[in-house]
Amino acid sequence: MRPCTEMRCLRVRPARRLHGRLRVPGDKSISHRAVILGGIAEGETRIEGFLGADDCLRTARAMHEMGVGIEGLPSESLRVRGVGLRGLRRPGRALDMGNSGTGMRLLLGLVAGQGFEATLTGDESLSRRPMDRIALPLGQMGARVSGRGEKVLPPVTVHGGDLRGIAYRLPMASAQVKSAILLAGLNAVGPTTVIEPARSRDHTERMLRAMGADLEADDLTITLTPGQPLAAQNVSVPADFSSAAFFLVAALLVPESEVVLEQVLLNPTRAALLEVLQEMGADVQVAGRREVAGEEVGDIIASSCHLHATEAAGAMIPRLIDEVPLLAVAATQAEGVAIIRDAAELRVKESDRLAAMAEGLAAMSARIEELPDGLIITGPSSLRGATVSSHGDHRVAMALAIAGLVAEGETVIEDTDCIATSFPGFAERLRGLGADCIEEE
């Protein structure tokens, strides 16, 4: 048995069969937005299915530090007493966002429209993530955003105040940057327009409209006209597609498997992995499509099958950006040469995800080549168990765990505390389907 290092690790052995039904935790993106927008709405917002993972808890606690009443933490059921668009107060200390890049970027936009100064900090990983892409448009609106160096690395201080609406063309498709600008625009003078180069997830726009904001979307152009207060809503958070995707791909790769994933978010700006997998010949069906709180949900049924390689690039990438590490794992078992391009954004996530996946899968004997903006993977490969590192990245850790299910021998993924940032209970749910995986200190 390979020894673990001093940090937590996950041991995975090959699976013979996966079978069962499960519902993964609530959607991370929607949980962030529900507690933020509920906090600046008028009245009480009730949230069911809130993701009680560290990233979302950091955002909720930051809102509480700024005067928002929140009951129910860390459960899935929250009551958020909104303070109105301009009712937030200056926090008495720096807002510690832990590892949450989404929380930091959205709150920078929110605070920019308030009449006070706040500093946002984070852990070692978040302190390496650039905030210049947020600082630039917020600066054009009239806020002052300062951090370390040209990339505006955290800790980041934002001086909020009188903002003016702008028209801003995003240099890359980014829901975080788009959302930060729209949140700032709620308290700006005049309309704020964001033009995207390709569609990114649209949860902020959906929730703003549901709460009464004057927001119009015309293809890739979104315009927010301020002046309308937000009305509190009841929010039912569907199961997170990005979390469900790990079990979806596992069911496709492990022989004689069938897994049903219940009430999964199917928002088209998030679920592009389904399209790519179907192009690869995946046996995936969606049943019971319905709308819940303005979002499409359904049950995903996945069965083991033979896959063939495909190419993922261009406008498809922003709609599956979080699933690229998992797509790389699927590609190792597909027939032919798979190509992933236009994904350079992954180099500035919790880790350099392109490098981390290339390193980890190569250690497991995959035939994989790293590109400046993607990966080339030749399959199918007979993977072999190895000791690999998550590089402190939750999605890398979970993707390599899925690879371990189809590798010969034992795979040890080191540094897996990070999984709790988005998916507490991941290993337990995997075992519930029949996998042989053990968490160790």
| Residue spans of alpha helices (H) in 338-425 | 353-363, 394-404
| Residue spans of alpha helices (H) in 280-388 | 324-332, 353-363
Candidate list 54, 202, 322, 393, residue with the active-site label: 322
Known active-site residue 322: yes
Q: What amino acid occupies position 275? A: E
Classified as helix, coil or strand, 365 is: coil
CA dist 249 → 85, 228, 258, 303, 334 (Å): 42, 43, 11, 9, 12
3-state helix, strand, coil in the chain (%, to 5): 35, 30, 35
**Crossing angle of helices 353-363 and 324-332, rounded to 10°:** 20
CA–CA separation, 351 and 372 (whole Å):
15
Q: What are phi and psi of 405, to 5 degrees?
A: -65, -25
Contact 284, 272 (CB under 8 A): no
Q: What is the CA radius of gyration of the chain?
A: 21
Which of the residues are catalytic? Answer: 322
